[in-house]
Amino acid sequence: MAEEHLAQLRVAVEAALSTDSPVQLAPLRAMDGGRSGVTLVSGVTEMPGLPEVDCVVVKAAPLGRPPVGRHDVLRQARVLAALADTPGVVVPRVLATGTSPVHFYAMTRSPGTAVEPVLDSVTVHLPAEVVRGRAEAAADMLAALHRASVPPDAHGGEEPVADLASEVARWRVTGEAADPQVLVGGGRLADLLAAGQPRIEVDPVLVHGDFRLGNLVFEGTHPTGLIDWEIWGRTHPGVDLGWFLVFCDADLFPGIGAPVAGLPTSRELLDRYVAAGGTEPQELAWFEAFGRFKMAAVMAHNLRRHREGRHHDPFQEKLPPTIARLIETGIDKLRG
């Protein structure tokens, strides 16, 4: 956002926060490491009503874009508010929402760091015991999230249930928007997923959609906030679980990831999830394959955006070997 738009948004956020007493914020700036939509941060200069809050994070819809899909930030605020008192699930606290000059919400900042061990190992080194502790805490929280009793119309919005066919179709569309010479075999994997989807009826649960260690903020091994709720929904819990397990296998990320000491295996994390009250899907291989397809489709789509100049990020050029590996192993999962 341009400085003038940031200034307008700051005034709007201050007004939304000033319910009982005046609030003053420092200028809004892009949040370091924030890649999930428009994510801004501001220090609190004055907030008498909430003296314990010294920093505010603002999620906003991009200027000129309709607030729908991943830009529907009020939908994100709704699920955060609904989960505020859920045992075992820690999320930032929503402080205020608004619709002008763009849709936005303001929330507390979770203290600590969010690290994706396999992908961030080049720049961030965590002791093995911290890696293991964080991974186990994440598995516990995922089980708690899937047990959460959150009504589908929580806080004013009705959220439909997505079946597995629509989940596959959704990410097939993402893959089809990528370069087919990069996502080689993606169509085949999508076809196998569509043809072999689990037939066992399971009650839908609230899913995060991008549940992984990189979206969990920790102080040491203590989780302080599950963030980045752009694609949450209501569907089969295996959708979250298969995605989460992708990120504990360094072999799936050639050239961009590395093995990390202390990181539990997929089986260990699955056992931890079950011990915490989650349920192991009877057709786990399908969900593992689906997680790989979803990751490959997202990466291939982002690479195309980079190459077309829509989002310059040279790192994307390192992704083709990982995309190929994800597709290859996804097909192997479905072959048994």
Closest CA to 234 of 154, 155, 298, 173: 154
Both 53 and 187 in one domain: the answer is no
297 CB-near residues (< 8 Å, 6+ apart): 171, 172, 174, 175, 178, 183, 186
Expressed as residue numbers, the domain containing 77 is: 3-108
Q: What is the pLDDT along the chain (336 residues), one digit of tens a residue?
A: 788 999 999 999 999 999 878 889 999 999 876 556 799 999 988 777 777 888 999 999 999 889 999 899 999 999 999 999 999 999 999 999 999 999 999 999 999 999 999 999 889 999 999 999 999 999 999 999 999 987 655 545 678 899 999 999 999 999 999 999 999 999 999 999 999 999 888 899 999 999 999 999 999 999 999 999 999 999 999 999 999 999 999 999 999 999 999 999 999 999 999 999 999 998 999 999 999 999 999 999 999 999 999 888 999 999 999 999 999 999 999 987
Given a contact cutoff of 8 angstroms between Cβ atoms, the answer to whether 316 and 327 are in contact is no
Both 134 and 264 in one domain: the answer is yes
Both 250 and 150 in one domain: the answer is yes
Closest CA to 106 of 180, 198, 25, 4: 25
Alpha-carbon distances of 309 from 37, 173, 302, 306, rounded to whole Å: 18, 21, 11, 5
Both 232 and 250 in one domain: the answer is yes
pTM of the model: 0.94
Domain count, the chain: 2
Report the alpha-carbon distance of residue 266 to residue 61 in Å, rounded. 36
Neighbours of 154 (CB within 10 A): 15
Both 67 and 84 in one domain: the answer is yes
Closest CA to 303 of 186, 165, 168, 166: 186
CATH of the domain at 33: 3.30.200.20
Both 16 and 134 in one domain: the answer is no
Both tokens assigned to 215: 């979206």
Both 221 and 329 in one domain: the answer is yes
Both 275 and 154 in one domain: the answer is yes
Given a contact cutoff of 8 angstroms between Cβ atoms, the answer to whether 108 and 93 are in contact is yes
Both 129 and 268 in one domain: the answer is yes
Domain boundary, last residue among 48, 77, 108: 108
CATH of the domain at 300: 3.90.1200.10
Domain boundary, last residue among 108, 132, 158: 108
> What is the maximum span of the chain, computed from C-alpha positions, in angstroms?
62
For residue 281, cis peptide bond before it (omega within 30 degrees of 0): no
